[in-house]
Structure 1
Amino acid sequence: MWRCAGVFGMLLLIAGCQSTHEDLIAKGYPPAFADGFDDGCSSGRQAAGAITGGFKKDVPRYLKDAQYAEGWSDGFRQCQAMRESEDRGDYQNRYLNERDRAWQQEKDQGEARAYRSQ
């Protein structure tokens, strides 16, 4: 069983090393689309407030190469939305965790009061 888990873990590790660019090409997308997607994704994350990465756009290529332009637009929209979703999730998780802690504390205090009154 441990051997199977180890093999599965190695497969996940190897699969995780493939870049988005390589993954798109492996799925049959043209290299120009994959290039545009990478640049657009970096730009979309930056537009959504990410500290790392930055705005990337090969403007002459964007204007002349429809596949690059389509990839850039897709990458920008998808990565911007994903980054914004992650930010909302972080806020919700923090808020819910604070509510859970407050509820647990209230429950523990109520239980302590009940034991003391016996």
Structure 2
Amino acid sequence: MNARWVLLWCVVVVAGCQSTHDQLVAEGYPPAFADGFQDGCGSGRQAVDAMKGQFKKNVPRYLKDTLYAQGWSDGFRQCQAMLENQVHQDQGRDTIWNDRDRDWDRQSTQGAAKAYRSR
């Protein structure tokens, strides 16, 4: 299962200008799986941030077509995790800058206090 995630991740990253759907089909995935992956990926991004994707699921097809259902589930989980990881990293970066800003403010305040006391 992990090899599948790595392969799908590589496919998404390498896709470049080609759509994810087209890239998956070019890699040999069935069109039904690629359709589901594309719909699930947008839905997974939307689950993390409403502005990043659009929920889309062809429910009748999902219930009848196992390839579409598998693609949708894989796309949803992968894109949701990828965006959550990106958001988490961005929040971590903000925390680092906030800590640095806080440290700088503390040092400058302490420096000013020492300067005023030495007068």
Asked if the contact 1:50–1:83 (Cα under 8 Å) also holds between the matched residues in 2, the reply is: no
CA separation in 1, counterparts of 2:76 and 2:21?
A: 14
Q: CA RMSD in A?
A: 2.4
TM (norm. structure 2) is 0.71
Q: Which residue of structure 2 lines up, in the alignment, with residue 58 of structure 1?
A: 58
What's 2:90 paired with? 90
Number of residue pairs matched?
A: 104
- 1:71 and 1:19 map into 2 onto residues whose CA distance is 15
The percent identity for this pair of structures is 57
Aligned to 1:74: 74
1:45 is aligned to 45
Q: Deviations over 1:8-61 (max 9, x none)?
A: xxxxxxx62111111111111111100000000111111112313321001111
Q: Is the 8 A contact 1:45 1:83 kept in 2?
A: yes
**Greater CA drift, 93-102 or 70-79:** 93-102
- AA aligned opposite 2:67: Q
On the 8 A contact 1:48/1:80 being kept in 2, the answer is yes
Amino acid at match of 1:18: Q
C-alpha separation in 1, matches of 2:16 and 2:103: 39
Where 2:76 maps in the other structure, the secondary structure is helix
Structure 2 residues not aligned, in runs of 5+:
1-14, 114-119
Alignment check: 8 A CA contact 2:33 2:68 kept: yes
Structure 2 counterpart of 1:20: 20
